[in-house]
Amino acid sequence: MRWARPTRSIAGVTAGVCAAFVLASCTADSTSAGSAPGGSDAQAPGGGGSEAEQAAPPPPFEASVLAGADRGVPVDTRVRVAADNGTIDRVQVYRGSRAPARMVDGTLARDGSGWRATELLEPGATYTVLSTGTAQGAGRGTVRDTFTTQALTLDEQTYPSISPLQGETVGVGMPVIITFDIPVTNRAAIEQHLAVQSEPQVTGSWHWLSDTEVHYRPKTYWPAGTEVNVDVGINSIDAGNGIYGQMDREVSFQVGDSVISRVNVATHQMDVEVNGQTRRTIPISAGKPGFETRSGTKLIVEMFESKRMDAATVGIQPGDPEYYNIPEVEYAMRVTYTGEFLHAAPWSVGSQGSENVSHGCVGMSTANAAWLYGISHRGDVVDVTGSGRALEYGNGWTDWDMSWQEYQEGSALS
C-alpha cells in the first residue's frame, strides 16, 4: 500500500546554476558644494555646470539565488542565496502562498555574505524566495522571486516502514528494521540519513539484507530498560535510479526485561533466563527426523494467542501422512519465516522432555506456553542448540546469528 505524501523535510546535496535578482534600494539626495542660498543652484554667467558634480548614487544591493533553474528544480537541491554586494539580512523561502506554515529552514552566514537551506524540497511545488539586504551607502531592499520543483509520482519515491512500532516494548535482541517499498540502489546516501540514539548509549551498525531492507543492531544485546529513538531522515534524498526518499519518519521504543530462552534439542529442555537468572526449565519436544528444528540464534518475530497451523503453508499437502491442520494453536511465537514457532502442544506432552516428535516447532505444555507468552516480547532471544540443521541467513530475524564483524560488513558505509 502506498501512502499519500505528508509535509516533510531533510538535508541533502547542493545544486548550483546562478540566477541573479537585483533588490530595490534607496539612496539619499545629494546637494552640490556651490548651491546658492535658498537651495537654488548658482551658475557663473555662461557656465555650463556646477562647481562640484553631484555624486553618483551608490549601487543598490544585489543577490543571487542559486536553485539550479526556475523550473524543474531537483528535490534534492539545497537552495542558496549569495550577496553580490553588501550583506544579506534575511532570507525567507517558502512553499505555496503562506510563508509561516511551509518555510524552508536555513542558516545565514555570520558575515551576511550568504544563506543556505538546511532542508530539501518537495516535488511539484512552487517556492517563493524573499531576500532582504543592504548595500553600503544604500537603503535596505527586498526582492521576490519564485521557482518550481520537479514533479514526482509515488512510483518515483520510496516509503520507509519502521519496526519496532512507536511506543512498543521489545526484547533485548530486537533489531531496528527499515523496509522500503521501492528498492534503494544508492544505499550509502540513504544510510547516511539513518540515525539511532539510545539511553544508555550503545555501539551499533546498520546491515543491508537487500535493496528493500536494512537492519540495525547493537554490538551486544540491548541493556534491559534502554530507551531508543530512530530517525529516518530520507526526505528527498536520492535513492538511485531516479528514486527519491518520500518522507522523514521517527519512532521511539523501549527495551523490556532480558528474556532469553535456551533450547537444547538433544536434551529436550528449554531454560528461560530473565535478566540473567534462570526462571524456569521447561520440558519440550522439537522437530523429529526429517523435520529437524534449526540450530541458531533466533528472535521472536510475531506473537499470537491463537493461530491456525496448516501444513500446506510449509509445502505438506492434504493426503500426505505428515499433513496437519490445527485450527487453534495457543500461545504461538514465530521464530522463522519457514514456520518454526514456540507454542503450546498439549498433544505431545507425553513426549516432552524425552523425544522430538514435531514438524520443527518447539512444543511445550499449555501451562508453560502461557507463562512464557506472558513474559515475552517481539525481539526476545531464542538460542537453539543440539541440532545438526543450521539456521539460514534471513530466515527470520537472524541478526544475532553472525559475528559482529560480519554484521558490520553489511553496512554500505563500512
* Judgement on whether residues 106 and 183 belong to the same structural domain of the protein: no
Cell 544485546 sits on residue: 221
* Judgement on whether residues 70 and 83 belong to the same structural domain of the protein: yes
* Judgement on whether residues 223 and 181 belong to the same structural domain of the protein: yes
Alpha carbon distance 118, 12 (integer Å)? 8
Q: Which domain holds residue 215?
A: 154-256
- How big is the CA angle at 160 (ends 103 and 215), to the nearest 5 degrees? 130
pLDDT at site 251: 99
* Judgement on whether residues 230 and 291 belong to the same structural domain of the protein: no
Q: Picking from 134-138, 274-278, 289-293, 343-347, which range would have the lowest pLDDT averaged per residue?
A: 134-138
Q: Picking from 78-87, 94-103, 241-250, 340-349, which range would have the lowest pLDDT averaged per residue?
A: 94-103
Position 3 pLDDT exceeds 60 = no
Reported as a single tens digit per residue, the pLDDT across 76-132 is 999 999 988 889 999 999 998 766 668 999 999 999 999 999 999 999 999 999 999
* Judgement on whether residues 106 and 243 belong to the same structural domain of the protein: no
Mean pLDDT of 142-151: 90
What does the block give as the cell for 318? 492434504
Mean pLDDT of 243-256: 99
The pLDDT > 70 percentage for the chain reads 85
Q: Picking from 62-66, 83-87, 153-157, 168-172, which range would have the lowest pLDDT averaged per residue?
A: 62-66
pLDDT at site 40: 38
- Give the phi and the psi of residue 191 in degrees, each rounded to 5: -60, -30
In a domain, 34, yes or no: no
What does the block give as the cell for 172? 533485548
The pLDDT-based confidence of 18 (bands split at 50, 70, 90) is very low
Active site residue 361: yes
Alpha carbon distance 411, 194 (integer Å)? 12
* Judgement on whether residues 185 and 286 belong to the same structural domain of the protein: no
Position 233 pLDDT exceeds 70 = yes
pLDDT at site 98: 64
The pLDDT-based confidence of 68 (bands split at 50, 70, 90) is low
Reported as a single tens digit per residue, the pLDDT across 180-216 is 999 999 999 999 999 999 999 999 999 999 999 999 9
- The catalytic position among 207, 268, 361, 377 is 361
pLDDT at site 145: 84
In a domain, 33, yes or no: no
* Judgement on whether residues 135 and 18 belong to the same structural domain of the protein: yes
Alpha carbon distance 341, 293 (integer Å)? 10
**What residue type is 218 in one-letter code?**
P
pLDDT at site 117: 97
Cα distances from 407 to residues 191, 232, 411, in angstroms, run 15, 20, 8
Domain count along the chain: 3
3-state secondary structure of 140: strand
CATH number at residue 214: 2.60.40.3710
* Judgement on whether residues 18 and 131 belong to the same structural domain of the protein: yes
What does the block give as the cell for 187? 544505499
Mean pLDDT of 132-159: 90
CATH number at residue 328: 2.40.440.10
* Judgement on whether residues 124 and 176 belong to the same structural domain of the protein: no
- Which of 127, 151, 175 terminates a domain? The answer is 151
Cell 522463522 sits on residue: 336
Residue among 147, 115, 135, 117 nearest 62 (CA) = 135
- Which of 237, 256, 275 terminates a domain? The answer is 256
**Average pLDDT score, the chain:** 88
- 75 close to 150: Cβ distance less than 8 angstroms: yes
* Judgement on whether residues 193 and 100 belong to the same structural domain of the protein: no
- The catalytic position among 207, 215, 268, 343 is 343
Mean pLDDT of 325-340: 98
In a domain, 230, yes or no: yes
Reported as a single tens digit per residue, the pLDDT across 22-61 is 333 333 233 333 333 344 343 434 444 454 456 667 777 7
Active site residue 377: no
Q: Read off the pTM.
A: 0.83
The pLDDT > 90 percentage for the chain reads 77
- Which of 256, 290, 308 terminates a domain? The answer is 256
In a domain, 330, yes or no: yes
CA atoms within 13 A on the CB side of 296: 24
In a domain, 127, yes or no: yes
In a domain, 48, yes or no: no
Tell me which of 7 and 356 has the higher pLDDT: 356
DSSP 149: B
Position 11 pLDDT exceeds 90 = no
* Judgement on whether residues 250 and 169 belong to the same structural domain of the protein: yes
Number of residues that make up the chain: 414
CATH number at residue 111: 2.60.40.3780
In a domain, 141, yes or no: yes
* Judgement on whether residues 272 and 358 belong to the same structural domain of the protein: yes
- 155 Cβ contact list (under 8 Å, min separation 6): 182
Reported as a single tens digit per residue, the pLDDT across 256-294 is 999 999 999 999 999 999 999 999 999 999 999 999 999
In a domain, 30, yes or no: no
- 79 close to 67: Cβ distance less than 8 angstroms: yes
Alpha carbon distance 15, 18 (integer Å)? 10
Alpha carbon distance 373, 342 (integer Å)? 9
Strand-pair category, 259-264 with 381-385:
parallel
